Amino acid sequence: MHNNRYGHMVHEYTVGRVRRVMQERAARLDAIQTRVQAEEYVEDIRSKAAICFPALPARTNLNARTAGSLDLGQISLEKVIYESRPGFLVSANLYLPARIDAELPCVLGLCGHADAGKAYGPYQFFARGLAAKGFAVLIIDPVSQGERRQFYTEEGVLEGDPRPRSTVAHNMIGNRMLLTGDFVGSWFAWDAIRGLDYLLERPETDTTRVGVTGCSGGGTQTTQITALDPRITTAAPDCYITSWLCNLENELPADAEQNPPRALEFGLDEADLLLAYAPRPTLILAEENCYFDLRGARQAHADMKKIHALLVSHDSAEISVGHLDHGFHKHAREAMYRFFIKHAGLNVDCQEPVMAEVPETQLNAAGGEVVPFGSKKIFGFTQARTYELEAKRPRLDYAALHDAVRKHLQIQVPHSPPHYRFLRRSGGQDAATGKGYQFAVETEMGIQVILTMFGDLENQCRRPEGEVSLFVGHLSSEEDCTGLPWLQRRLTAGQRILAADLRGTGQSFPTTCGSSGLLEPYGADYLYASFGSMMGESYLGRRVYDLLRTIDCLEDGGANVHLIGRGVGSVPVALAALLHASQPTCELVHYLPSYRLLIDNPLHNWPLSCFIENCLAAFDLPDVYAALGDRLKKCDPWGPWI
């Protein structure tokens, strides 16, 4: 582990940004005092929420089939398979009361991050419990859970190993989708919407009494689908609703599908997704010891009560808080039963019947896995979308490519050079490694690039002049300079190398989230990249901005800058070389050959902070490399796993 001298820098910077968004949102809500203003707010967030779920397709034939049934006494089970998209199978269980005298109120059940999906005990229980109360309940497997495994040996998984599944799988699937302008949350939502289509087509169901519920990731899906589908009449998300600010402050990364692009840019919070069709009756279920912060859930409930009351619906926003940890516990399930029973107009008790867990094999609709059953994999759809984008992509000249890259990275560089400071270090200079002084470039308020000079032990209080190589390393630029023989040989030959730790790397690698490395699929680097997406900006773009401002600082001091990038650092170096007005020369070592590589290889560990959202509609990295021409030297490309 490197020296994390500035380990909280990125976290506090991001918290400050999101806190300002939430303060502005709170001010907007405080200003709403009339029914008309409340209606305008609801319309506004509904339209914005729709933008956060891009690339929803047209409805196609569900090709639904029943693969078997099960008699569970007072209720029956049908094993269902349908196509949410052509060839993309969703495995589901439909629970019905054994005796049906009239059209039934219905509930769509959505699963959290249990690998067993719909077969996980508490999820079985809530579906069966509702059916015992007189509801028709369809519960579906999410992607990479239950029967919907996606990664096999052809993706690079070892024979017999079911991983990655659930959260890590969702991130691997979702990160690469962003390259094409898609969002994996849209896929989860569409699976659910098509499940609702199936449920409402059933002759047993009443289309005027339609609920949705789920816990954790299922609570996420419940919240998101309520923002997108007006057919839902009641919603009860469990152990999900809080504030995105709470998640960030509490260092809680969320799955790729839980981070709607641009949501924070639009000033939305989680509660707003529940308000998109206010005053739809909504019950927030929460637990005191859940990592989804109860304070955020209570504030979300208060926000909902205010808007619902202004819309003349005073008892349609509820909250039920249990005393346990994260999970769909019995008391939460019974609170949910009570809520749906009340709004469905049924006259039954809300106590959960005694149930024994049904083995997963008896619930399987596709024999255990949908892919061997005939389903396409999700990767193929992303790959096909990439090929379509490539076929339509125009060839850009240098100026057009420059503009396209700058636009996708959302970069505007000030004309004046940045402020910088010199840093005191214990131990002084190190003649053995050639490590000399350090200084920091303030690229924007609260963000510093930490620079360590190698090969110049004379100067301590001024910027370097003349020829200097500005090096951006793989994980830590300073550690690369002390540990890589080829860099040491350059220092021995008399070169001066200035190691730059851009935000969130090396000495500013975040000490949050319990992270031990930048490449963790669910760690701190991923957290800030995903919040960047929700804020409508590129985390990679901010690192490129850091590098551009560092070049400005050095050139202002009389340096002639040559760029070197390695591994993760190769991506911002190539982009900065293209964008900087001085057109510096650059070298890339262990570089990412293309984003297409990650599309064609679903199993990868290049971090989200190396990705550019929707770039494949305009360019790929080989276009950048070609545009650099003779200014670029590159060697030793890395593959999808680094």
DSSP string computed for 196-230: HHHHHHSTTEEEEEEEEEEETHHHHHHHHHHHH-T
Contact (Cβ atoms closer than 8 angstroms) between residue 228 and residue 123 = no
The two three-digit tokens of residue 367, written as one number? 């024999």
- pLDDT for position 437: 85
Task: Give the number of other Cβ atoms within 10 Å of residue 107's Cβ.
Answer: 32
575-600: b or e for each residue (b if 16 or more CB lie within 10 Å)? Answer: bbbbbbeeebbbbbbbbbbbbbbbbe
Beta bridge partners of 530: none
Asked if pLDDT for residue 335 goes beyond 70, the answer is yes
pLDDT value for 7: 92
Instruction: Tokens for 393, please give them.
Output: 């992509």
DSSP letters of 184-196? Answer: HHHHHHHHHHHHH
- When the pLDDT of each residue in the chain is averaged and rounded to a whole number, the result is 95
Instruction: Note whether 105 and 347 are within 8 A (CB).
Output: no
pTM of the entire predicted model: 0.96
Q: Reduce the DSSP state of residue 498 to 3 states and report it.
A: strand
Query: Residue 86: helix, strand or coil by DSSP?
Result: coil
pLDDT at 500 over 60: yes
- Residue 266 in this model has a pLDDT that exceeds 80: yes
Q: End-to-end alpha-carbon separation of the chain, Å?
A: 18
What homologous superfamily is domain 50-386 in, according to CATH?
Alpha/Beta hydrolase fold, catalytic domain (3.40.50.1820)
User: Mean pLDDT over residues 264-283, rounded?
Assistant: 98
Residue 5 scores a pLDDT above 90: no
Say if residues 148 and 221 touch (Cβ distance below 8 Å): no
Degrees to nearest 5, angle at CA 318 with 316 and 324: 160
Residue 430 pLDDT grade (very low, low, confident, very high; cuts 50, 70, 90): low
Q: What is the mean pLDDT of residues 27-55?
A: 98
Q: Within 397-510, where are the H helices?
A: 398-409, 477-483, 485-492
pLDDT at 3 over 80: no
pLDDT band at 433, cuts 50/70/90? low
Confidence at 269, pLDDT banded by 50, 70, 90: very high
Residue 532 tokens read as 């960047």
CA 74, 79, 84, 88: dihedral to nearest 10 degrees? 160
The mean per-residue pLDDT over the stretch 297-304 comes to 98
Q: What is the pLDDT of residues 123-173, one digit of tens each?
A: 999 999 999 999 999 999 999 999 999 999 999 898 888 889 889 999 999
What does the pLDDT average to over 409-431? 81
Edge-to-edge strands, sheet with 447-454:
419-423, 435-444, 447-454, 497-501, 466-472, 559-566, 586-589, 632-635
Structure tokens at 172: 């691997």
CATH 3.40.50.1820 domain residues, the chain: 50-386, 394-635
Shortest CA distance to 285 belongs to which of 300, 266, 306, 268? 300
Please tell me the distance from the alpha carbon of residue 583 to that of residue 571, in angstroms, as a whole number.
Answer: 16
Contacts of 330 (CB under 8 A, 6+ apart): 125, 352
| Span 438-489, pLDDT tens digits | 999 999 999 999 999 998 767 777 899 999 999 999 999 999 999 999 999 9
Q: Give me the mean pLDDT over the 242-255 stretch.
A: 97
**pLDDT tens digits, residue range 341-370?**
999 999 999 999 999 999 999 999 999 999
Partner residues linked to 501 by β-bridges:
450
Percent with pLDDT over 70 in the chain: 98
CATH topology classification for 394-635? Rossmann fold (3.40.50)
Q: What is the gyration radius of the CA atoms in the chain, in angstroms?
A: 27
Measured distance CA(404)–CA(78) in Å, rounded: 51
Separation between Cα atoms, residue 136 and residue 118, nearest integer Å? 15
pLDDT at residue number 1: 45
Sheet containing 88-97: order of strands? 65-71, 75-85, 88-97, 136-140, 104-110, 205-215, 234-238, 282-289, 317-325
Buried b (16+ CB within 10 A) or exposed e, 506-526: bbbbbbbbebeebbbbbbbbb
